[in-house]
Amino acid sequence: MIKFDYVSFEDEIKCYVFENGDGTKYTIHVMPAEYGGLYVICNESSLWRFHSNPNELKHLCGNNNEYTKIAILQLADLKGWVE
């Protein structure tokens, strides 16, 4: 028997499309991580976990690019992300 717990994050999932001035357009999806922090998906090519105290961003998989990391942290600071 399979037990399935349904979790809805409808009000907590955010999507941002922005350019930070380095010539790259970013599409960022943000949602709560089950065990703390926020999952951040960037351009459907990398996954990160953000923690707000202190602002920390950890690469989990996909493209690991220092400019992407900088852009995500800029957006987190601008939007005041809090886990």
In a domain, 42, yes or no: yes
Prediction pTM value? 0.87
Q: How many domains are contained in the chain? A: 1
Other Cβ atoms less than 10 A from the Cβ of 9: the count is: 9
Say if 22 falls within a structural domain.
yes
- Who's near 32: CB < 8 A, 6+ residues apart? 9, 12, 38, 39, 83
pLDDT in tens, 21-56: 888 899 999 999 988 999 999 999 999 999 998 899
Residue 40 falls within a domain, yes or no?
yes
- 1 lies in a domain? no
Q: What is the pLDDT of residue 5?
A: 65
Query: Residue 3 domain-assigned?
Result: no
1: pLDDT strictly greater than 70:
no
pLDDT over 70 for what percent of the chain? 89
The domain of 73 spans: 14-79
Does a structural domain hold residue 5? no
How high is the pLDDT of residue 75? 93
Domain presence at residue 6: no
